Chains A and B, each alone.
Chain A
Amino acid sequence: MTSNSLSRRAFLASAVSASVAGCNGIQYRDRYKPGERVSLTVSAPPADDDEAATTIARTLTDRLSSLGVDAVFEPKGRSQLYLDALINHDFDVFVGRYPNLTHPDALYPLLHSSFAPEPGWQNPFGVTSVAIDDSLEALRESADSTAALREFLDVYVERVPFSVVTAPDFLTVRREALSVPDGATTERPLDVLAQLASSSLDRPFRAGIFSVEITENRNPVAGEFRWNDQLLGLVYDSLARPSRTGAGFIPWAAREWYFEDGDLVVELRPGQTFHDDSQLTAQDVAFTLRFLSDTSLGAASSPVPATRFRGHTTLVSGAEATDERTVRFEVADHVDPVNAERVLTIPILPEAEWADRTELVEERVTKALVWENRQPVGSGPLAFEEATPEESVQFRPYERHFLGKTSDDRLTEYAPALDTDGVVARYAPSGEDALVALGDGRLDTSLHLFPLQAVGGVEGANDVVSASSPSDELCIVGYNFRRAPLSDFRFRQVLARLHDREHTAASVFDGFARATDLPMVEDWHEVDWSSEFTVGSFPGSDGELDVSTVRDRFEEAGYTYDDDGNLFR
């Protein structure tokens, strides 16, 4: 799109200067450009990284081409795609996965206009809509989110800030002999801890990873596009963790919390230590919040937040340690206390280690954000042992963890994890390779999302079973509002309908996904929103697009076709 318009401009410039030199009469004609061909680049990870996204993006490209759009499909390695889309905002349309949609409030940083200039999953689309802002603020402010959510969805289906194609399942494949509960997946840190606790092996638990990232970089703060925090999430404890069975949080490093005068007051469990045996105090917790809000701690001319936690840190306006074990979070204005609880899930960092990572290595980038943190020191039930880059990483149980002492019956199921030999995560280049490794005992289970394309091999493999459950992710299509015609909501309304979601869930996801066009995961509410709200049905059937209907829609939205059937704006 850029190069195209550039060359057009260059051509225009030369044409104009030529006509100025020659005869004045034709200048106006040369500059008169009533329309421009609609051209879009659709980016997605290649099949090696995310086969479903590849197929969705390529199908969209083919459909756009058939509709007269100058459309190009551009596969990009996952980290490059998210670098371009989330940090550099250099994209037209991308297909990817939005992670961690655990709570309606996650929509706030994703779409609120005040986040549009920020990097990361903070409004990467550049949405600036008063209507959307208002509904998001209402959502954050209200305790009864059902009514507020209804309001938001009403705006969502009209403005289509991005599209949802499906809500994919999380897939885990493991050795059948492994003693873990049926249907157990490995999506969240606690899921992994529960499996470790019930595994009863006399050697480390062998978990297959499909990305080498954690073998090289163990920084819990960096990386807006880190999905796989199952292990780092167990190295770094948080005050509370999302409950595995339903809504709400279970107390973790915090023994309890309550609200007092609009503040969120948190009491820590006694006697907690970091893996280097230093004390974990309320100071560390208060520091973590300050630090994540501004990793330069005031040294930079404007704050340099850890973008991953922007949504969380904006829920509160400050934190203070009132004694060794008590932290007071000041809830931000217009935030309902129920929503503010989400701040309890940020990782607790040892102040002594992070306080001197504040220097700027680049404009708006601190050392803390790019540091590899090869020897992570957290306070979680797993402690770092050793790593071989691009191959494996090993964690041992941290025997001084509070799980060994607690009698809280929400936590006792995890305690046996401390008596194991820990976890070794090993890289598998593909799902097929992981199946072989599971077959010959090199792996006990897959840890990261098991690649869909290999799931067909589970049946034929010996003593291997799979488990799946609805995940916290959505398969989404992002539109760059900064670029015409994606800035036009009428255009986006037509785009949003170019996905045959039922067909995609069945054929592309092999049934391991729920077809949906709404930005919410299943366990938010009991209400069946899909009967009430929709961006509109797919014009066509069985994955076959009815081209002439959509061409009419583009024309109704104010776009035109030339004699060759090319779409102009």
Chain B
Amino acid sequence: MVLADTLVVLAANVLAMLVPAVAVSVGPRRFLGALRDSRRRFVAVAPYLLPLAVVLAARRLALSIGPEISWYLEWNVTGFIYGLEGTAVVRLQELASPLLTDYFVFVYLYGYVFLLVFPIVAYFALDDTDRLAELLVAFVLNYGIGLVCYVLFVAYGPRNVIPEVVDSLLYTTQPTSQHLTGEVNRNTNVFPSLHASLSATVALFAWRTRSEYVEWLLLAVPLAVSVAVATMYLGIHWVTDVAGGLVLAGGSYWLAIRVVDRYGCWESMPAFFSRLSARS
């Protein structure tokens, strides 16, 4: 019940950003044109959609059996990270004000989802499907490598380790959001920050597509920076997690471009797929 309400609010907020952003940046005409050509575009990126589906399914799996494996291995890096940076994130919270907190909560919950969804729509609208393919590959790499880290390492965030100096601002200001975050992650999974890595990945792609979507670059970069800062400001991630996320983003971006450059997109469904669909 609470979860459903939270999801509706999430969808409403993200749509409220997405619709105007698409209208302004992509434009209705280009968007509708892309829809009419959607079959070709789906076929083109089909080889990259499958791995994404696999990784997202693995994400569900990693949530249920992942903790078992993590605790079996018991590679608990929390103490190491704490030893490395101590109470560095406290500095950020010293700047806290109600307005700033509202902003970062909004960015963390809704801005982030918008940041991930918009480029999918925008790159889908480009005639050249390579950008969309690259983005999908980069998402797969981020998620895939991030999940492996989550399963391998046990790492708790600042709010769980230094609670007397870091407030768990997200959950004190938006208590019910925990029903949602509890669905998508566990509190032992903070290294690396996927919020930071996926946002940075999107920002890197915004730079790559600056000639097509210059307004997007102007929006994506500050938003991505905000998301990364928000994760620390809200007491969820360590500086180390965000740094790890940025490295992951850079690596995924670089590799995604190489992969699509090497393997390209499909021009049509391979013959055996067509035969399969014809038979059914």
| Of the residues A51, A73, A432, A442, contact of B163 by C-beta under 8 Å | A51
Given contacts A72-B83, A74-B79, contact A54 B160 (CB under 8 A): yes
Secondary structure type dominating chain B contacts: helix
| Of the residues A41, A75, A433, A508, contact of B160 by C-beta under 8 Å | A75
| Of the residues A76, A80, A433, contact of B175 by C-beta under 8 Å | A433
| Of the residues A41, A46, A80, A430, contact of B171 by C-beta under 8 Å | A430
A-B contact count (CB 8 A): 72
In the complex, which residue of chain B has the Cβ closest to the Cβ of A84? B74
In the complex, which residue of chain A has the Cβ closest to the Cβ of B164? A55
Residues of chain B within 8 A of A51, CB atoms compared: 163-164
A432 close to B171 (CB less than 8 A): yes
Given contacts A72-B79, A72-B83, A433-B179, contact A58 B162 (CB under 8 A): yes
In the complex, which residue of chain B has the Cβ closest to the Cβ of A65? B83
User: Does B182 make an interface contact (CB < 8 A)?
Assistant: yes
A47 close to B76 (CB less than 8 A): no
User: Does A134 make an interface contact (CB < 8 A)?
Assistant: no
Residues of chain A within 8 A of B176, CB atoms compared: 433, 436
User: Does A356 make an interface contact (CB < 8 A)?
Assistant: no
Q: How far is the CA of A48 from the CA of B78 in the complex (A)?
A: 15
B160 close to A432 (CB less than 8 A): no
Residues of chain B within 8 A of A46, CB atoms compared: 156, 160-161, 187
In the complex, which residue of chain B has the Cβ closest to the Cβ of A436? B175
B188 close to A77 (CB less than 8 A): yes
User: Does B172 make an interface contact (CB < 8 A)?
Assistant: yes
Residues of chain B within 8 A of A327, CB atoms compared: none
Q: How far is the CA of A442 from the CA of B162 in the complex (A)?
A: 31
B161 close to A48 (CB less than 8 A): no
| Of the residues A41, A75, A436, A442, contact of B161 by C-beta under 8 Å | A75
Q: How far is the CA of A429 from the CA of B2 in the complex (A)?
A: 11
In the complex, which residue of chain B has the Cβ closest to the Cβ of A434? B175
In the complex, which residue of chain A has the Cβ closest to the Cβ of B155? A75
Instruction: Scan B153-185; emit 1 where CB is below 8 A from any A CB, else 0.
Output: 010100111111000100110011011001000
Residues of chain A within 8 A of B1, CB atoms compared: 442
A432 close to B172 (CB less than 8 A): yes
- Those of A432-452 within 8 Å (CB) of chain B: 432-433, 435-437, 442
Residues of chain B within 8 A of A457, CB atoms compared: 172
Instruction: Scan B105-141; emit 1 where CB is below 8 A from any A CB, else 0.
Output: 0000000000000000000000000000000000000
A430 close to B82 (CB less than 8 A): no
| Of the residues A55, A73, A74, A80, contact of B71 by C-beta under 8 Å | A80
| Of the residues B161, B164, B178, B187, contact of A433 by C-beta under 8 Å | B178
Nearest-Cβ distance from residue A508 to partner chain B, whole angstroms: 7
B76 close to A430 (CB less than 8 A): no
- Those of B60-98 within 8 Å (CB) of chain A: 67, 71, 76, 78-80, 82-83
User: Does A142 make an interface contact (CB < 8 A)?
Assistant: no
A48 close to B164 (CB less than 8 A): no
User: Does A66 make an interface contact (CB < 8 A)?
Assistant: no
What is the size category of the interface that chain B forms with chain A?
20 to 34
User: Does A453 make an interface contact (CB < 8 A)?
Assistant: yes
Nearest-Cβ distance from residue A82 to partner chain B, whole angstroms: 12
Nearest-Cβ distance from residue B256 to partner chain A, whole angstroms: 34
Residues of chain B within 8 A of A430, CB atoms compared: 171, 175, 178
What is the size category of the interface that chain A forms with chain B?
20 to 34
Q: How far is the CA of A370 from the CA of B126 in the complex (A)?
A: 57
- Those of A508-522 within 8 Å (CB) of chain B: 508
- Those of A25-78 within 8 Å (CB) of chain B: 41, 46-48, 51, 54-55, 58, 61, 72-77
Q: How far is the CA of A41 from the CA of B79 in the complex (A)?
A: 9
A47 close to B163 (CB less than 8 A): yes
B178 close to A429 (CB less than 8 A): yes
B161 close to A47 (CB less than 8 A): yes
Nearest-Cβ distance from residue A461 to partner chain B, whole angstroms: 11
A429 close to B76 (CB less than 8 A): no
Q: How far is the CA of A457 from the CA of B179 in the complex (A)?
A: 19
Instruction: Scan A146-165; emit 1 where CB is below 8 A from any B CB, else 0.
Output: 00000000000000000000
Residues of chain B within 8 A of A74, CB atoms compared: 76, 78-79
A73 close to B161 (CB less than 8 A): yes
Nearest-Cβ distance from residue A49 to partner chain B, whole angstroms: 9
Residues of chain A within 8 A of B156, CB atoms compared: 46, 75
Q: How far is the CA of A74 from the CA of B160 in the complex (A)?
A: 11
Most buried by A among B156, B172, B178, B182: B156
Q: How far is the CA of A148 from the CA of B177 in the complex (A)?
A: 53
B182 close to A54 (CB less than 8 A): no
B163 close to A54 (CB less than 8 A): yes
- Those of B1-31 within 8 Å (CB) of chain A: 1-2
B164 close to A73 (CB less than 8 A): no
Nearest-Cβ distance from residue B88 to partner chain A, whole angstroms: 15
Residues of chain A within 8 A of B159, CB atoms compared: 47
Q: How far is the CA of A433 from the CA of B177 in the complex (A)?
A: 9
Q: How far is the CA of A47 from the CA of B162 in the complex (A)?
A: 8
Residues of chain A within 8 A of B71, CB atoms compared: 77, 80
B187 close to A48 (CB less than 8 A): yes
- Those of A406-441 within 8 Å (CB) of chain B: 429-430, 432-433, 435-437
Given contacts A46-B187, A433-B176, contact A73 B82 (CB under 8 A): yes
A55 close to B171 (CB less than 8 A): no
Residues of chain A within 8 A of B160, CB atoms compared: 46-48, 54, 75
In the complex, which residue of chain B has the Cβ closest to the Cβ of A432? B175
In the complex, which residue of chain B has the Cβ closest to the Cβ of A454? B172
| Of the residues B67, B78, B164, B171, contact of A75 by C-beta under 8 Å | B78
| Of the residues A73, A77, A436, A454, contact of B79 by C-beta under 8 Å | A73
In the complex, which residue of chain B has the Cβ closest to the Cβ of A59? B164
Nearest-Cβ distance from residue A497 to partner chain B, whole angstroms: 21
Residues of chain A within 8 A of B178, CB atoms compared: 429-430, 432-433
Q: How far is the CA of A80 from the CA of B179 in the complex (A)?
A: 22
A47 close to B168 (CB less than 8 A): yes
Nearest-Cβ distance from residue B13 to partner chain A, whole angstroms: 19
Nearest-Cβ distance from residue B63 to partner chain A, whole angstroms: 12
Nearest-Cβ distance from residue B86 to partner chain A, whole angstroms: 9
- Those of A452-502 within 8 Å (CB) of chain B: 453-454, 457
Residues of chain A within 8 A of B175, CB atoms compared: 430, 432-433, 435-436
- Those of B180-212 within 8 Å (CB) of chain A: 182, 187-188
In the complex, which residue of chain B has the Cβ closest to the Cβ of A44? B161
Nearest-Cβ distance from residue A463 to partner chain B, whole angstroms: 17
A76 close to B161 (CB less than 8 A): no
A-B contact pairs, 15 of them (CB 8 A): A41-B79, A46-B161, A47-B161, A51-B164, A58-B82, A61-B79, A75-B76, A77-B67, A430-B178, A432-B171, A432-B172, A433-B171, A433-B178, A436-B175, A507-B164
B positions within 8 Å CB-CB of A: 1-2, 67, 71, 76, 78-80, 82-83, 154, 156, 159-164, 168, 171-172, 175-176, 178-179, 182, 187-188
The 10 closest A-B pairs by CB, nearest first: A46-B160, A432-B175, A47-B163, A72-B79, A429-B178, A433-B175, A47-B160, A75-B156, A46-B156, A73-B79
Instruction: Kindly list 17 other residue pairs between chains A and B, CB separation below 8 angstroms, not including A47-B160, A77-B71, A433-B175.
Output: A47-B159, A47-B163, A47-B168, A48-B160, A51-B164, A55-B163, A58-B162, A77-B188, A432-B171, A432-B172, A432-B175, A432-B178, A433-B171, A442-B1, A457-B172, A507-B164, A508-B164
